[in-house]
Amino acid sequence: MSTVHYAVIDGIAVLTIDNPPVNALGEEVWTAVDTAVARAVADPAATAIVLTGAGRTFVAGADITVFEQLTTVERAMERSAYTHAMLCRLEDSAKPLVAAIHGHALGGGLELALACHYRVATPDARLGQPEVSLGIIPGAGGTQRLPRLCGVDVALRLCTTGTPLDAAAALAAHLVDLVVDGDLLQGARQFAGERASAQARRPTRELPIPADSIPAGLEACRQARNAVAPGPANRAVLAAIESVENGVTLPFDAGSVRERELFAECVVSTESRALRHLFFAERDAARLPSLPDGVTPRTVARAAVVGAGTMGSGIAMVFANAGIPVLLKDVDDATLDRSLATIRGTYDSAVQKGRLTPEGAERTLALITPVTTYEQFGDVDLVVEAVFEDLALKTRTFAELAGVTAADCILATNTSVLDVDTLAKASGRPAQVVGHHYFSPAHLMSLHEIVRGRQTSPAVVAASLTLARRLGKVPVVVGNAFGFVANRMLAYYLREAHLLLEEGASVRQIDAAMTTFGFPVGPFAMQDIAGLDVGARIRQHLRSTGRRRSEGPQSEIPDRLFELGRYGQKTGAGWYRYEPGSRTPLSDPIIDDLAHEAAKRRRIVRRDITDEEIVSRVTTALANEGCNVLGDRIARRASDIDVVYCHGFGFPRHRGGPMFHAQTIGLPTVLSRVQEYEARFGDYWRPSPLLEKLVTEGRTSIDG
């Protein structure tokens, strides 16, 4: 069946792109559109042409798998030139060509619409150029047609931020010519017929840029460039600015040639490969497991959270923000009052910043019902336990939940390190128990670790994945082991940061090295934000069981800070100190004193440490332990680990995550670094057996 259907209705040729689920533009679709437009131009029964999409959207973008085939600049240039030429043929149509847009016109979909003479859209349509999120720029004329149609400011916004415009904003920007409130195709056919009657065509590439607008356009480009930090993370943004600027200063054909060159340079870059890797990794991580025939995942219409502390309050907000009524339980009204005051303060702040209307804030807040008993828990579909991180308390809570909830209610724990199977056993119905590990602050952080226990049913995992997407989270299914994936690997990251401090680096140097690498904050600033007491209590629990968070020496400094009451920002001091009312980290000499004392006790001669060693040590520790996590089957794929670290801890997306980064620098290089550190520091730097196996077999990819 053709991916573009052809029909003539009342003298208008209607071409319908039909490539489910989102009409992505693969080579077959591009060719079919080209062929269908040529047919319509030659058809004496048609006076004008309407191009639209079947299903729920116009065109959501190019088929991203095509980019994986563009492995050289030459191949990318060739592909881009083909698409440019095809769109120019569409634009040369002798009959008015109208794009009828519903749903999304994104990326190549918008570039296709831009090559039409006119665009009409439904009120809920959204139009954008999100290529920058994949580390590339529009490669089919988007940076050249947009400034001619909408002006430089709109072109820069669309091409450098990836943020789409809604139909009303697109109409105001002259990106669409008409918003159709009723039947889209009927309105589009009428609009096209009127243009045919007037013999009106408007090829976008032929639109002149007014001479008096050029200075302002160039100034907008200069300001946009100055606002972007140079470096690989912003390669695509800077390329987009250059290409939009070319759209102002160069003829269309010359600007298009340079657009193709910039597109090709971006698409073969490591940064674009990393971002495309994450795109597919996030999609794979969210994929539902296969279920037996007749088994349908439970829909969560009502939820409950047990524990109204920081995490519990944040999780309650997550449900309310998604429009799901939620009970928030704690032992007394005073605790609940404090929690609701904090929640209200968060919504008030959102109102002040224009992110919420006052009415919207009140509606959302009304979805959270504070309770001190389990009386209403029989009506909920899911309970998230978020009590204090104490195994005995959590076990007791799960035993209580078993008696107050329906037999098919999903029982989830927000534990970050404790054994899900122990809690499942306490519930008496382990198939319904699952880990839902949110990251703090829960209402802002996107990662959602879904922890599959030994007996967790596939239907509960599927329901959890569906729920996570509804909550606006990025879900990753992981196995049940201490720390799961995120916190297990974090222990090795922090171990090296702490030891580097003892060996001679400073807190500020280590944080600066990691932020230069691309993290939003360094390891010490991160701990100050999260609270040093959290890690201290985990270490206390482990010591009570005779365990530790990672192999090798464990710095004494974090526990010393905990003993001193330095919990981070919330107490005004942690690894840094903070002035009252400020979150600006200030260096504190006490940390240097503690580092010297710790080094002396461990008989370490402190030395100068380079930023390169800092980055190498912590990223190698992550990659090596990531291979152990895979070998232990706690993560299903290396790409799942990348999703966890990019969304949970801010590993730079343009580097693709710790495992993709390891592949980028080469698995033999990673192994040689582990072996070097083992020789220098001791056998706690033992290479992962999986890493050794991959290198021995000559593999370049961890996943296969």
Closest CA to 66 of 27, 121, 106: 27
One-letter identity of residue 527: Q
Residue of 27, 28, 131, 692 marked active site:
131
CA angle (507, 495, 582) in 5-degree steps: 35
The Cα-based distances of 104 to 13, 23, 123, 266 in angstroms read: 22, 10, 11, 24
Give kind and range of the element (H or E) at residue 368. strand 368-371
Residue 245 designated active-site = no
Looking at residue 106, the DSSP 8-state letter turns out to be E
d(CA 342, CA 309): 10
3-state secondary structure (DSSP) of residue 474? strand
Q: Are strands 118-121 and 178-179 parallel, antiparallel or unpaired?
A: parallel
d(CA 641, CA 644): 5
Q: Which pair of tokens denotes residue 266?
A: 């971006």
d(CA 525, CA 585): 8
List the end-to-end C-alpha distance of the chain, in Å, as a whole number: 34
d(CA 35, CA 50): 14
d(CA 409, CA 429): 10
20, with CB counted inside 10 A (0-12, 13-18, 19+), is exposed
The Cα-based distances of 315 to 8, 297, 443 in angstroms read: 53, 21, 6
Given the structure tokens 């592949």, which residue do they identify? Answer: 663
Give kind and range of the element (H or E) at residue 327. strand 326-329
185 Cβ neighbours under 8 A, 6+ residues apart: 14, 50, 52, 100
Residue of 68, 74, 111, 389 marked active site:
111
Residue 111 designated active-site = yes
Task: Count how many residues are written for the chain.
Answer: 704
Contact 566, 574 (CB under 8 A): yes
CA angle (101, 103, 105) in 5-degree steps: 60
Contact 361, 351 (CB under 8 A): yes
493, with CB counted inside 10 A (0-12, 13-18, 19+), is buried
What are the DSSP E strand ranges found in 218-324? 303-306
Closest CA to 386 of 325, 436, 332: 436
Helix, strand and coil content of the chain, in percent to the nearest 5, comes to 55, 10, 35
3-state secondary structure (DSSP) of residue 389? coil
Asked whether the CA dihedral 24, 25, 29, 34 is positive or negative, the reply is positive
Closest CA to 483 of 572, 529, 548: 548
Given the structure tokens 């300001």, which residue do they identify? Answer: 223
3-state secondary structure (DSSP) of residue 161? helix
Q: Which pair of tokens denotes residue 594?
A: 């503690």
Q: Give the active site residues.
A: 111, 131
